[in-house]
Structure 1
Amino acid sequence: MKRQVTAGLMLACTTLLGAFTLSAEARTLRYAIGHPPSSFVVDVAKEYAGAVESLSDGDLKVRVFPMSLLNFAETSGGVRDGMADIGFVLTSYFASEFPHSNVAVEASMLVGLLGDKVRGREGMVFMGALSEYTFFNCPECNREFARQGQVYTGSTGGSSYGLVCNRPVESEADLRGMRLRVGASNWSRWAEAVGASPVTMSANEMFEALSQGVVGCIVLAAPEIHNFGLTDVVKHITMDVPGGPMPIAGTNINTRTWKSLSPAQRTVMLRAASVFSAGVPWIYHQHEDRILSEAEDRGVTLHKADAALIEKTHAFVEQDMATIAEDYRRRYGVQNGAELITTFRALLDKWAGLVQDVDSEEALADLYWSEIFSKVDVNQHGL
């Protein structure tokens, strides 16, 4: 997938090049991402690599290793230990290592309470808010990354999660007793709240679990049907619940690698990270309707959740904010969870307004850059 570099990106490139001393040979950074090569996320990772090379005039390059160098469960430790220079880190997989970070990550279902004004833009709103929150409003988050030998350079993630199933779901009664594969604790609690049983398993096991009836549904974003090769086993889809995207620290950099870069090179990595942070939610939202339409053409039935299930889900989300704060206080010693969630909710409202006029991936990347990434002090951050 090829896209033109934005005018803003080219301007940043021109500005940054004057700060470089050309090297005889480009330095190549290894980027580990747990998605399969055919994934939309890998397409965006290649754009990120291209942005790094363009912005640095070839002084820096990124080699993308999809699903080969490190899997999702190995990525955090692998970046820490220098097996990769950059990693796609799902902090939700590592609750004890990133508790302050995960307070906001687990609050992802909040975006569903913003209503129609963010429909089809949930990921764009959430990733802007989460990046701003982590860079500038959560020093504890950055200390957590530092303890794991990583430097945070932005969050990303796709569209909101729904129910990808082998049986129809429209009401709470349909969910009662059903086993649901979930990928994060907030969806696990929602499953229990509606009478279902949450099941944790690796992404590699989803196809077999759904095809053999081990689970009735997978809580998943629609484009992941393509990314994880689930096309042939999905028979029913309900996207109204539970809602919320899966946020990721998409381009965390090994601390030693980050410190070895010049300030101009760190700026390049942040500018490229803004491209990546924007690219994933944009491509997911662009493909969401197509994936659902193609599924319907194959005979998959698309369902609407009834009003009672949606109302119960919204009530659960409000109640779950207190649960998250107390759970992280009790288990991980996070004393300011309620305050962090309040701060984050205000940023969600802010970003719900900021993305309203965004009409392209390039415009979203430029917005992220101007509002967030360009304000990071490369002489202080991660050092």
Structure 2
Amino acid sequence: MKHFAGALFAGLCSVTALSASAQEITASIWFPDTYPLVTDGYQALARTLEEKSGGELSLKVYTGDSVLPPGAHLSGLRDGIVDMTYHAGTYTPSDLPADNVLAALGISFNDSMVLTAAVADFYLNDAQMQEMFRQQGVVFLGSYASPSYALMCTSPVVTLDDIAGKKIRMPSPIHAAWAASVDAAAVNVPSSEMFTGLEKGQLDCAANSPNDLKSRSLWDVAKEVTLLDLGQYFAGWQYAMNQPAWSGLSEANRQLLVDSISDNLVTMTTAFEQSVDEALAEAGDHGVTVHEPGEDLQASLDSFVAEQVAPMAAEVAGRLNVEGAEDLIARFNAVYEKWEGLLADVDRSDTAALQKVFKDEIYGKVDVASYGVN
């Protein structure tokens, strides 16, 4: 009996020690459960952490607006309502000014794997970006880049005549400026409100990644899609933590999290791109017609990108009081070009090869003993 009691006591002590050492990260991302940044991002990361840590580190994920509305994913993180969030940086330009200057360049990019790598590399290592995050009390950990945006509309929009007068949900001030240049009206609403806006006639089109046809059921209300490449969205972050929460993790758990995010960014970005292909392949079954842009519509966008993006990024910098914006943009473009070279000969279907480059060039260089701790 004494032997049984002793064994029971030892077992209880073991369980108590395990629970005392286990750590949980609470996280919020406002996309629906069907969205790639959730399914292949947060939820996949949660499974990885659980498996690799043996339960010592877990990620509890809240989706939609169950905890925080879209625009509050910076303030909620800063205030410690949750430990980790996704955040769309253009929702809070005054808090993330340098990020918004770089986000203005998004309309000119069209390779999401290169962009994801470049943003992670730059945001983790650039002193100006790190100071911006420190001022907000958050620790940047991982990037994202959407597939190229397109137009999802309630009527065909193929030519300049078609787009004139249309009310279009646009993701950024630069996109809004292009809309104005073709006599369309940009509407500033969160992507979570696209379905309702299209359904009720408040929007004629939504500019977003075409995977939303499926992941947000936009094919029920937007029967015309034009594959006009409106660039990519990457503002803010996919993964960032509240500074006290990050510092409160054990060094081993910080290392596990960083290593897991490194691999996760590759699989998530690949899945994001694949989700577009799947949605477009199924679109016809939902009565959706997919168009290529007319020559005049395409030419208007090409001209805008070539002539207006750099000056407008400088304008954003001036409005947000970002000093040294020209140098900031030059530094970021240099990192982007570096990643174009690093990934030029890597087979995009070889997940392990991509993950090795991300680890060797970015995340393997993060010193978790000091990064974001002070």
What is the TM-score of this pair, normalised by structure 2?
Answer: 0.88
Aligned counterpart for 1:60 among listed residues 53, 57, 60: 57
Whole-angstrom CA distance in 2 between matches of 1:279 and 1:107: 24
Whole-angstrom CA distance in 1 between matches of 2:43 and 2:356: 18
Contact 1:325/1:338 (<8 A) preserved: no
- Which segment drifts farther, 81-90 or 98-107? 98-107
Gaps of 5+ in 1: 1-20, 113-121
Aligned counterpart for 1:190 among listed residues 172, 178, 184: 178
Task: Indicate whether 1:135 and 2:124 are aligned.
Answer: yes
- How far apart are 1:323 and its partner, in Å? 2.6
Contact 1:157/1:248 (<8 A) preserved: no
Whole-angstrom CA distance in 2 between matches of 1:342 and 1:277: 24
Whole-angstrom CA distance in 2 between matches of 1:88 and 1:248: 8
Deviations 1:170-209 (A, max 9, x none): 1222111111011222211121122211001233321121
What pairs up with 1:160-309 in 2 under 5 angstroms?
A: 160-309=148-297
- How far apart are 1:29 and its partner, in Å? 0.9
- How far apart are 1:56 and its partner, in Å? 3.0
Contact 2:102/2:313 (<8 A) preserved: no
Deviations 1:249-291 (A, max 9, x none): 0110010011112332222121122233223321121121220
Whole-angstrom CA distance in 2 between matches of 1:325 and 1:206: 26
Which residue pairs with 1:28 in the alignment?
24
Aligned counterpart for 2:47 among listed residues 46, 50, 60: 50
Whole-angstrom CA distance in 2 between matches of 1:245 and 1:63: 26
What is the TM-score of this pair, normalised by structure 1?
Answer: 0.86
Whole-angstrom CA distance in 2 between matches of 1:92 and 1:287: 24
Task: Indicate whether 1:365 and 2:361 are aligned.
Answer: no
- Which segment drifts farther, 371-380 or 286-295? 371-380
Contact 1:35/1:42 (<8 A) preserved: yes
- How far apart are 1:248 and its partner, in Å? 4.1
- How far apart are 1:46 and its partner, in Å? 1.1
Q: Over the residues paired in the alignment, what is the CA RMSD in angstroms?
A: 2.0
Which residue pairs with 1:115 in the alignment?
none
Structure showing greater radius of gyration is 2
Contact 2:99/2:236 (<8 A) preserved: no
Task: Indicate whether 1:39 and 2:35 are aligned.
Answer: yes
- How far apart are 1:307 and its partner, in Å? 2.8
Partner SS for 1:152: strand
Partner SS for 1:153: strand
Partner SS for 2:318: helix
Which residue pairs with 1:378 in the alignment?
368
Partner SS for 1:218: strand
Which residue pairs with 1:5 in the alignment?
none
Which residue pairs with 2:3 in the alignment?
none
Partner SS for 1:231: helix
- Which segment drifts farther, 278-287 or 251-260? 278-287
Partner SS for 1:52: helix
Partner SS for 2:207: strand
Contact 2:99/2:235 (<8 A) preserved: no
Which residue pairs with 1:10 in the alignment?
none
Contact 1:157/1:280 (<8 A) preserved: no
Q: What one-letter code is carried by the residue in structure 2 that aligns with 1:190?
A: W
Contact 1:322/1:338 (<8 A) preserved: no
Which residue pairs with 2:14 in the alignment?
none
Whole-angstrom CA distance in 2 between matches of 1:225 and 1:350: 33
Contact 1:156/1:278 (<8 A) preserved: no
Which residue pairs with 1:92 in the alignment?
90
Whole-angstrom CA distance in 2 between matches of 1:323 and 1:75: 29
- How far apart are 1:28 and its partner, in Å? 1.1
Which residue pairs with 1:109 in the alignment?
107
Q: 1:325 to 1:236 in 2, by over 3 A?
A: closer
Whole-angstrom CA distance in 1 between matches of 2:223 and 2:313: 37
Gaps of 5+ in 2: 1-16
Q: 1:204 to 1:244 in 2, by over 3 A?
A: closer
Whole-angstrom CA distance in 2 between matches of 1:310 and 1:89: 31
Deviations 1:290-320 (A, max 9, x none): 2012112322111111233223212212333
Partner SS for 1:180: strand
Whole-angstrom CA distance in 2 between matches of 1:371 and 1:87: 24
Q: What one-letter code is carried by the residue in structure 1 that aligns with 2:216?
A: F
Whole-angstrom CA distance in 2 between matches of 1:358 and 1:254: 33
Contact 1:321/1:341 (<8 A) preserved: no
Deviations 1:323-349 (A, max 9, x none): 334223322221222222222223223
Deviations 1:106-141 (A, max 9, x none): 2112214xxxxxxxxx2111111111111123x222
Percentage of pairs with the same residue? 29
